[in-house]
Amino acid sequence: MKADSLPGTFIVVEGVDGCGSTTHSRLLAKALRSPTREVVLTCEPTNGPVGGLIRQILQRRLFVTDATGPRGFAWSTMALLFAADRLDHLDSVVMPALRDGSVVVSDRYLLSSLAYQSATAPDGQSVVPWINEVNARAQRPDLTVVLDVPAELAEERRQARGGQAEVFETRALQERLVAIYARAELLVPGDRVVHVSGVGEASEVSARLIASVLEALPKLRA
């Protein structure tokens, strides 16, 4: 079901690690909020039980133990965990807000699964139909905004954050993801996708993103 069949509006902000999706989801939600409009800011992985498990895996605190010793989780296991977290997210946060007529702004959603799991699967893009199948019950967003940044800039930002790199934060993988996100609309045919340059000061990027959202969804100008 498309989100535009509900009273609310569902917007997703996407991109590689270091694109600024968390910052700009927050700034977008702040810009859209008004006395007459409720805005719900959320994210994936969520803070729910499945999302918490995913965060432990991404932070390298949880491993698979087999005869070869501790190792990372298979791409397919990650795809199923993200799908489970997504359905819980929809049930507990997104759908109630959309039914109430709120604007939901999510930092990452289905496109992340399609991009990251296809980039880490040995069979590459051929796994996309299966990922779509396990996410078949997922609500489609009204708009997905992709923040495009070069791999080099994204890496600089990740390093500036400090801390240990997460599972997906390797240069080689992020370079593949930059290429995948550049043609993101091919992964979600039928969805409304806009690209916004994530290069520049936060205020500049935010202004571009907000303008793109208002152009794509003119009902939010009121």
What CATH number is given to the structural domain containing 26?
3.40.50.300
Give the DSSP H/E element, type plus range, for residue 10: strand 9-14
What's the confidence (pLDDT) of residue 81? 98
Which pLDDT belongs to residue 8?
97
pLDDT at 2: 56
Tokens, residue 56: 């432990």
Alpha helices in the chain (DSSP H): 21-32, 49-58, 75-89, 95-99, 110-120, 128-134, 151-161, 171-182, 202-216
Give the residues of the chain that fall short of pLDDT 70: 1-4
By the 8 A CB rule, do 24 and 13 touch? yes
Tokens of 208: 């571009």
Please, are residues 15 and 147 in contact by the beta-carbon 8 Å criterion?
yes
Structure tokens at 146: 């992709």
Residues of the domain holding 126: 3-221
Contact of 211 with 23, CB cutoff 8 Å:
no
Query: What is the tally of structural domains in the chain?
Result: 1
